[in-house]
């Protein structure tokens, strides 16, 4: 009988003969690598270099998810999303970044945090890795609200039952990847081993190592 290969992603890096960065933006850049294929041929691979992100599925005591609607210019749409943001500081603890984003975008704090899931958003063309947290035991944050600008100044906010979001995702009505992955992951966790079996908030993350 053939041995079953574990269904788990594994680290691997093929030889890169040369690399150049034809574009450098404010937060990300575009890189072109000359990558050696298994047959010895060399091909160019263009991709966006991204610092990584965190997202927060904030669930209140009425089983509602905190969502916000924001204009996203590349897709020419206003999308319902969950609070999220970049890992601006190299090596930053992603939990601290997630707590900051929840405060800045929604003026909310949470007492209970778990790792919901980790994803690469578009691994064929971007190095972005996202850690999605589950945050519970919500309350209003203290102090003044964070000052927002640009697209964030026009955000709408709502609290929507988790079941309604799951239905909307499967109906093709919601498209933001962190929202889609987050609500479906929470639904799956509840149907499986339960939320208490989720990883702790400070679980290590191979895609973006950090100091605990």
Catalytic residues: 152
Q: CA-CA distance, 152 to 155, in Å (whole number)?
A: 5
- Nearest C-alpha neighbor of 67 from the set 199, 173, 187, 176: 176
How far is CA 102 from its chain centroid? 13
First CA to last CA distance, the chain = 43
CA distances 88 to 27, 128, 140, Å, are 8, 13, 25
| Structure token pair of residue 176 | 């933001």
| Structure token pair of residue 200 | 């702790």
Q: CA-CA distance, 1 to 7, in Å (whole number)?
A: 18
Q: DSSP E strands: which ranges in the chain? A: 16-24, 29-36, 42-49, 53-58, 64-72, 77-81, 84-86, 108-120, 129-140, 156-161, 199-200
CA distances 96 to 25, 66, 206, Å, are 25, 19, 17
């Amino acid at each position: 009988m053939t041995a079953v290969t574990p269904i788990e992603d594994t680290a691997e890096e093929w030889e890169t003969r040369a690399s150049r960065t034809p574009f450098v933006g404010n937060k990300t850049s575009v890189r072109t690598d000359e990558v050696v294929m298994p047959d010895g041929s060399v091909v160019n691979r263009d991709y966006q270099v991204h610092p990584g992100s965190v997202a927060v599925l904030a669930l209140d005591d009425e089983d509602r998810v905190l969502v916000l609607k924001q204009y996203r210019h590349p897709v020419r749409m206003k999308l319902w999303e969950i609070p999220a943001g970049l890992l601006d500081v190299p090596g930053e603890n992603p939990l601290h970044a997630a707590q900051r984003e929840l405060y800045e975008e929604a003026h909310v704090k949470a007492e209970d945090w778990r790792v919901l899931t980790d994803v690469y958003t578009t691994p064929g063309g971007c190095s972005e890795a996202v850690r999605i947290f589950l945050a519970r035991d919500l309350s209003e944050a203290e102090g003044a609200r964070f000052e927002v600008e640009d697209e964030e100044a026009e955000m709408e906010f709502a609290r929507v039952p988790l079941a309604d979001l799951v239905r909307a995702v499967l109906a093709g009505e919601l498209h933001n990847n962190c929202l889609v992955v987050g609500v479906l992951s929470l639904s799956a966790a509840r149907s499986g081993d339960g939320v208490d079996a989720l990883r702790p908030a400070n679980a290590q993350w191979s895609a973006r190592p950090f100091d605990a």
